Chains A and B, each alone.
Chain A
Amino acid sequence: MAARSRRSFLVAASAAVAGGLGLWWLLDPRRQGIFDRMLGLNEKIGGGLFRRQARAAEFSRSLAKIPRVNGTEGMSEDFDVDRWRLQVTGLAAGRQLPQFATDLAYHTEVSDETAAKFPATPAAGLLLTLDDIKALPRVEMITELKCVEGWSTIVHWGGARVSDFVAKYSPATELGSLPPYVSLVTPDRGYYVGWDTPSILHPQTLLCYEMNGEPLPLEHGGPLRLVTTAKYGIKQIKRIGRMAFTDQRPADYWAERGYDWYSGL
């Protein structure tokens, strides 16, 4: 009895020490890469199981509220809404469209560091006005804006589906043959998000220009922002300046600060 008990306690103590040391090693901030790899694995699973047919809950109009303004990154004061255009690169078609341009520059002043990440003059592409976006089928959805912090607000959005946008401006492209990623950047290049293409083509992902029946206010991302049920608010970039379909996994503001790059709901 005593011997058996002693042996068990020895095993238990060793296991406890080994487990404790193991966790202590693992939870050291220097091992954050291990947790990031798991986020990558979760992304593979989430992306693999992604169903375009899934729909998040929609609500009645009376429940819609004005969401909190939660972050001003990329929302420079000197923004000139009249000069705003949406730059779009990476879509196969476009050259024959009247909106095709070879100089997509905004001519905004940015730091060298920002300029290195996002060149001032991206490759030739489309330079679109808000009317171009409004010419697409208008869609309304009353959905929960979910913040990664945990809160959520029901908002009534109006805009155009990204999938309709792609169908219009890249009609020859099969959806499956698009580049795997989309990069979205504010005009001042101060805020930027990376998306996987399947999520951005989800029917509940909109290029949004209306909120609660009004034109989208500047502080909520006017003239054009992204809204979705497929990702947290950190991915729903306000004041989109540039949209690039790309083979490179795009830089993402909050992913660079420790958050899950995929953030898929």
Chain B
Amino acid sequence: MKQLELKHPLAVRWLHWINFPMLALMIWSGLLIYWANDVYQVEISGHEVFRFFPQPFYDALGISSHLARGLSLHFFFMWFFTVNGVLYVAYTLVSGEWRSLVPVAGSFRRAGLVMLHDLHLRKAPPPQGKYNDAQRIAYSGVIVMGFGSVVTGLAIYKPLQAAWLTALLGGYECARIEHFILMIGYVLFFLVHIAQVIRAGWSNFRSMIAGYEVIDAVPASPAPGKTGEGEATR
């Protein structure tokens, strides 16, 4: 017997899907700013081993100077990105959703099992729940990253007026690097997230649109279609 179960509340779905273009625009406009002076590279004992955007990249995309545009976009969408993030955190706190999102005792050990399973190195599936332990860590971690982006961003945006914050983050240059590394973190998160959503299949994806997921009913559960929000936890 199958039944419907509310997995993602309406607020979470909206905030999630609004965040997607906001974050994308923040990354894009941030890169327009970064490209005005693209000095970050990975060095090992003074030798450049990796540069983020080599010259052929610019030639291929025809990117020239869009610094002013990048700045005006970044300082526009920052408000929407931040407010959306604050609303998401506030909602998860008020609704109690946070309980299924934060890592719990043993999460880091079991997240290792999730990875082994996903890499086909371990047969037995790890405990899933609403989110498995790797998801708990990833979804909480990305919120911490969002907070980090706002804080490091503020330290770069107002290094005089928020000088104490800039100093706390190791200074202006450090805060810029931290802000940049967090951006790379989002890109990596995005790649893994997309791969996992594809792997998890249609029903999981649909739950992020429609909110409901079809599950195998346990005998004591109410009839299909009558599941209200109150019975949504398992």
Contact = CB atoms under 8 A, between A and B. Distances in A.
Interface of A: 1, 4-5, 8-9, 12, 15-16, 19, 23, 27, 32, 34-36, 38-39, 42, 46, 49-51, 54-57, 144, 146-152, 202, 204, 229-230, 254, 257-260, 264-265
Nearest to A55: B163
A260 B160 CA distance: 17
B158 A57 contact: no
B76 A152 contact: no
A145 to B, nearest CB: 11
B33 to A, nearest CB: 7
B73 A35 contact: yes
A12 B39 CA distance: 41
B171 A258 contact: no
B4 interface: yes
Contacts of B166: 56-57
Given A1-B212, A42-B75, 17 more contacts: A5-B210, A8-B209, A9-B209, A12-B210, A38-B75, A38-B79, A54-B163, A57-B163, A148-B67, A150-B36, A151-B37, A229-B160, A258-B72, A259-B71, A260-B71, A264-B161, A265-B159
A265 B158 contact: yes
Contacts of B68: 254, 257-259
A41 to B, nearest CB: 9
Contact of B211 (A8, A144, A229): A8
What is the interface of chain B mostly: helix, strand, loop, or mixed?
Answer: helix
Q: What bracket does the count of chain B residues touching chain A fall in?
A: 35 or more
Contacts, number: 108
Nearest to A20: B21
Interface of B: 4, 17-18, 21, 25, 33-34, 36-37, 39, 67-69, 71-73, 75-76, 79, 157-163, 166-167, 171-173, 176, 206, 209-212, 214, 224-225
Contacts of B161: 46, 49-51, 54, 264-265
Given A5-B210, A15-B17, A150-B36, A56 B163 contact: yes
Contact of B39 (A151, A257, A265): A151
A152 B160 contact: no
B12 to A, nearest CB: 14
